[in-house]
A and B are shown apart, each in its own frame.
Chain A
Amino acid sequence: MLEKMTIPTSPNGYAQLAADVLARAKACGATEADIVVADGETFSVQVRVGSVDRLTKAREKRLGLRVFIGKRSATTSTSDFSRASLDRLVADTCTLAGAVVEDTVSGLPDAAQMASEQPDLDLYDETVLDTDTQIDWAKRGEAAAFATDSRVTNSEGAEFDSSSGRVVLANSHGFMGAYKSSNFSLSVSPIAVDSATGAMQRDAWYQVQRKFARLASAESIGQEAARRAIRRLGARKVATKRVPVVFDQETAGSLLANLCSAVSGYGLYKRASFLLDQLGQTIASDLMTIYDDGRMVGGFGSRPFDGEGLATRKNTIVERGVLKSYLLDTYSGKKLGLPSTGNASRSVGESPSVGPTNFYLVPGVKSQQEIIGSIQEGLFVTELIGFGINMVTGDYSRGACGFWIENGELAYPVEEITIAGNLKQMLKDIDVVGSDLVFRGRIASPTVKICEMMVAGN
């Protein structure tokens, strides 16, 4: 059996470590500084065609330091926590900061703004699974996909992952925050074969939960994955034409992610977003109300404080189509003359950027079936591929697959087509929002329908 790896340093140890490094940065000439320490362990098992394909187990730790010397700043990171390494890190950071240009708006948030309370958002599950249990989950998920239909003849495999970690953030204002989180996930990727043509189709289904006990059965995931692969068999191209387009929850989530980037502070002040100067303006259909809620209990994007130590909160981003708030951290907020919205996101070795917490579109009343049922001829999109999105102009052109809708029914699967438009118009052209909101990640959307887009095929 594998032993559970333990991280020897206690949270208090990291608090002491963080305080020491901050003190050394100050001695080195830093006027302000903050530090992030993250550690964690991960276990991953991949099973393919009934046997274990890959087992991975690891623990990691990383420390990131950001210093300000007046209005100059630099950021560094290391995985080596030895005294010599950290001394070198502090010296390097201060030298780097001295080499860049003064940036008048740079700096930590004001001391008075730091999060004063750190609620437990129920992000952590201490369940430790043994290796055989995790292998069993992956095997059962894949076996269920094979058992669902004889046309499932191969597999990219099934993967079960469990991970847990801890983040400590401290700064020279005296702020010190910490939280733990965990994730358990299962994904299954079966391959179905069309016996007549030999053509293969792959699809996948997955689930992720912060608590192990909340996972649905492995079998239900395998069955859904198989259903999704089989329904793609016999896919064909369609003729080029303008039609209504329905996006399922996953692909609608990708549209929401595009909107999320367009209202993020860094793209806005760099003038690299298609939604410049739109605060208070109608940017989307009046069916659209979008929240970003950093305090949702057990949420995938929840955290008690953001990447700068400010309290997270629930922000209204879009209300009945009107843009009410951007997503901002302190720096991008200052550039735009606005306060932070508590959306600083922080990778250990980088200065803060902006990211969503739990960013979601409020559901409407119609089911996906009702939405499809209302369409004479159109496209139901279930997968999008490629990077054909220009965030500066909103121009949008992506590879798609899904189903052709005829007389309110899914008539046949389609592939090797593209859908194109401009996001500015697409957001306004959303004429139905579905009722089926499910959180499967930090960005979540119900099914949506866009009244018309160009579909390119034959």
Chain B
Amino acid sequence: MPEPVQLTTFGVTELEAQHALDRVKVRDVEYADLYFESRTSESVSMEEGIVKRAAKSVSQGVGVRATAGEKTGFAYSDELTKRDLEIAADTARYIANSPKGNSSVPVPTQRRPTRDLYPIERAKAEVATAERVALLNEIDAEARRYDPRIKNVMASFNTEYKVVVVATSDGTLVSDIQPLSRLQITCIAEDQDNRQVGSFGGGGRVAFTYYREDNRHLSYAREAAREAILNLSAVDAPAGVMPVVLAGGWPGILLHEAIGHGLEADFNRKKTSAFSSLIGKRVASDVCTIVDDGTLPFRRGSLNMDDEGTPTGCTTLIEKGILRGYITDKLNARLMGIPLTGNGRRENYQSVVLPRMTNTFMLAGESDPQDIIRSVKKGLYAVSFGGGQVDITNGKFVFSASEAYLIEDGQITKPVKGATLIGNGPEILTKVSMVGHDLKLDNGIGTCGKDGQSVPVGVGLPTIKVDEITVGGTQR
């Protein structure tokens, strides 16, 4: 287990933190916390065969939060003096109706981390810039070697090293060190007037060595190049309702958009989600079981603890088609009287905590993926996607394919150009008729946006068949 990070790392004593919590937790405040964060981000990027850019950014600060009933008071500061903590505490507690009469806060005791899902020594996460440059150079060469029609390769390698300490009014003092990295490659292919793009990437809470294991970086380069070259021969996508087979892995973005956001507790407490009154009800066919699991080692969406200090867990969202539960943070779990699931997350010290997903995926079923494709007379086979979005309130969601094929008489035939798929969250999973035995998690590229905050997440899916969904192509 890693050694706990001391508050003194931030130039703050435990007594000062205690004092600030005491100052925030006035009578009507039910809960308060301090979130100390230090983050170092580095990136190198290449284009036109040259690693041109290198950047590094360092930020440090504290977020102070008080909740009273449904209300949240929040302040943050990039200065960590005693005086700055006091000003932030006074701002946060303004939310409470009565700013007088302190109640006492239990003395926080530092809790030792109970597990380490990403045991990476800093030395292994931090390698010389020259090594990163070499990695990108090899990627460029590999992508161009794949096919002479690859005319440009854009690749970037980003790392983040985040140290957090959370002190709460319920007596918790806990820390975590959260490494994160990602390699992303985009290739432009040109064949006379036809230009196309392909991309691929991956990463997680992993050491730099991960990218070189079995020449993983080169396989990413070939994948990006392959998608760009494939799209040179893509035909226009069809328009209208049809069966769609989703490949395993990243197409799990379907779950994230169609049901994941709709099951975040804040929307359900406010009754603004299309899923608000559906607990215990059927929202999917009985071959669908879906979980949110923040405990998978080295995964991009995983965390030892959430940003309120709660250990993450594995929450069953849908069990054999029946809606079982929501994902929660402390505020919403308390107000709704439902279990705390360890999903309270924030982008940084400048953001408030919201219930957010970690790694969201569907468990494997029993169908053979080949049988799933063979069962479709005319439809779409979607292998890779760009982004997605959902309107929580009416449940309508979209996600956009970047690599897809026509299925004709049970056979995968021509590649088609990207198209947006649109559906209704509470309905779409009732149309899942087959689930493959080939569960795959994505490669570690997902970033989820909510309320202007971005957090790293994962998704996963076995091959599945959706009997009908609207495909937004251009051809009848």
User: Chain A residue with minimal CB distance to B130?
Assistant: A99
Please report which residues of chain A, range 85-139, place their CB below 8 angstroms from some CB of chain B when the two chains form the complex.
85, 89, 92-93, 95-97, 99-101, 103, 106, 131
Residues B394 and A235 in contact, CB atoms below 8 Å apart: yes
How many angstroms from the CA of A398 to the CA of B418 in the assembled complex?
11
How many angstroms from the CA of A55 to the CA of B96 in the assembled complex?
11
User: Chain B residue with minimal CB distance to A202?
Assistant: B393
Residues B151 and A79 in contact, CB atoms below 8 Å apart: no
Q: Contacts A75-B53, A349-B57 known; A420 to B91 CB distance under 8 Å?
A: no
Residues A78 and B59 in contact, CB atoms below 8 Å apart: yes
Residues A99 and B387 in contact, CB atoms below 8 Å apart: no
B326 to chain A: closest CB distance in Å?
Answer: 17
Residues B400 and A388 in contact, CB atoms below 8 Å apart: yes
Chain A, interface residues (CB within 8 Å), range = 35 or more
Q: Which residues of A contact B471 (CB under 8 A)?
A: 418, 456
Residues B472 and A398 in contact, CB atoms below 8 Å apart: yes
Q: Which residues of B contact A350 (CB under 8 A)?
A: 55
Residues A456 and B472 in contact, CB atoms below 8 Å apart: yes
How many angstroms from the CA of A16 to the CA of B310 in the assembled complex?
45
How many angstroms from the CA of A386 to the CA of B352 in the assembled complex?
25
Q: Which residues of A contact B394 (CB under 8 A)?
A: 199-202, 232, 235, 415
Query: Which residue in B55, B70, B397, B400 is a CB contact (below 8 Å) of A397?
Result: B400
Per DSSP, chain B at the interface is strand
Q: Contacts A100-B51, A101-B50, A399-B420 known; A191 to B94 CB distance under 8 Å?
A: no
How many angstroms from the CA of A415 to the CA of B128 in the assembled complex?
51
How many angstroms from the CA of A235 to the CA of B395 in the assembled complex?
12
Q: Which residues of A contact B472 (CB under 8 A)?
A: 388, 397-399, 417-420, 456
How many angstroms from the CA of A131 to the CA of B72 in the assembled complex?
15
Query: Which residue in A89, A92, A99, A156 is a CB contact (below 8 Å) of B270?
Result: A156
Q: Which residues of B contact A237 (CB under 8 A)?
A: 470
Q: Which residues of B contact A398 (CB under 8 A)?
A: 398, 420, 472
Residues B389 and A270 in contact, CB atoms below 8 Å apart: no
Q: Which residues of A contact B128 (CB under 8 A)?
A: 99
Residues A55 and B74 in contact, CB atoms below 8 Å apart: yes
How many angstroms from the CA of A85 to the CA of B44 in the assembled complex?
22
Residues A96 and B470 in contact, CB atoms below 8 Å apart: no
Residues B196 and A387 in contact, CB atoms below 8 Å apart: no
CB of B171 within 8 Å of the partner chain: no
Please report which residues of chain B, range 382-430, place their CB below 8 angstroms from some CB of chain A when the two chains form the complex.
386-394, 396-400, 417-420, 422-424
CB of B115 within 8 Å of the partner chain: no
How many angstroms from the CA of A59 to the CA of B62 in the assembled complex?
12
Query: Which residue in B47, B94, B152, B420 is a CB contact (below 8 Å) of A2?
Result: B94
How many angstroms from the CA of A94 to the CA of B208 in the assembled complex?
23
Please report which residues of chain A, range 330-368, place their CB below 8 angstroms from some CB of chain B when the two chains form the complex.
349-351
Q: Which residues of B contact A385 (CB under 8 A)?
A: 389-391, 396, 398
CB of B216 within 8 Å of the partner chain: no
Query: Which residue in B152, B388, B399 is a CB contact (below 8 Å) of A270?
Result: B152
CB of B272 within 8 Å of the partner chain: yes
Q: Which residues of A contact B274 (CB under 8 A)?
A: 200
How many angstroms from the CA of A154 to the CA of B418 in the assembled complex?
37
B466 to chain A: closest CB distance in Å?
Answer: 14
How many angstroms from the CA of A336 to the CA of B20 in the assembled complex?
55
In the complex, identify which listed stretch (A46-54, A144-152, A216-224, A295-303) lies at the interface while the others stay far away. Answer: A46-54
CB of B320 within 8 Å of the partner chain: no
A215 to chain B: closest CB distance in Å?
Answer: 21
In the complex, identify which listed stretch (B236-244, B311-319, B438-446) lies at the interface while the others stay far away. Answer: B236-244
A55 to chain B: closest CB distance in Å?
Answer: 5
> Known contacts A55-B72, A79-B59, A397-B418; can you find 10 more A-B pairs with CB under 8 A?
A52-B95, A61-B78, A96-B129, A272-B197, A397-B400, A416-B422, A416-B424, A420-B419, A456-B472, A457-B241
B binding-site residues for A, Cβ under 8 Å: 44, 47-48, 50-61, 70-78, 87, 90-91, 94-95, 128-130, 133, 151-152, 154, 186, 188, 190, 195-197, 237, 239-241, 270-272, 274, 350, 352, 386-394, 396-400, 417-420, 422-424, 470-476
